[in-house]
């Protein structure tokens, strides 16, 4: 058995609209993982894209964040910390009991979460009856 398995064994990455050769994608992907996870650059203010600093306070778009209260992948304290950082004037945090996948795909998601998201979008899209 090899010491380490390749990250992308097919030597290509399938993306919407086509394939990207691994030699182009993999170094960027690995750097993204280091930047976002190991060094937490987005939240500590040291992230750069194309040489420009990324500051979430400069994001002004409407923002809806869905938080799973029992999420072990993205704990609520991380969700709420990131939410507070965005500069959007129109932002809403929906908290729902459940885990990372369960709040969107669990048995109550269709009755509770999806209607809440639909209502939030409808209010901002000019749909009649919203």
Higher-confidence residue of 21 and 44: namely 44
26 is written with which tokens?
Answer: 């993999």
pTM: predicted TM-score of the whole model, two decimal places: 0.74
Average pLDDT of the residues in 63-86:
96
Nearest CA among 122, 58, 71 for reference residue 100: 71
Burial of residue 65 (number of CB atoms within 10 Å: 0-12, 13-18, 19+):
middle
Task: Tell me the domain boundaries of the chain.
Answer: 12-53, 56-125
- Are 96 and 113 spatial neighbours (Cβ–Cβ below 8 Å)? yes
In the chain, the percentage of residues whose pLDDT exceeds 70 is: 84
* Confidence class for position 66, pLDDT limits 50, 70, 90: very high
């Amino acid at each position: 058995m090899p010491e380490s398995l390749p990250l992308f064994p097919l030597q290509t990455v399938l993306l919407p609209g086509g394939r990207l050769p691994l030699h182009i994608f993999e170094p960027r992907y690995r750097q993204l993982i280091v930047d976002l996870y190991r060094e937490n650059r987005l939240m500590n203010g040291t992230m750069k894209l194309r040489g420009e600093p990324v500051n979430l306070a400069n994001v002004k778009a409407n923002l809806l964040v869905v938080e799973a209260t029992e999420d072990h992948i993205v704990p609520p304290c991380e969700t709420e910390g990131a939410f507070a950082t965005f500069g959007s004037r129109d932002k809403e945090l929906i908290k729902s009991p459940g885990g990372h996948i369960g709040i969107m795909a669990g048995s109550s998601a269709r009755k509770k979460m999806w209607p809440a998201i639909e209502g939030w979008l409808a209010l901002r899209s000019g749909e009649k009856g919203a």
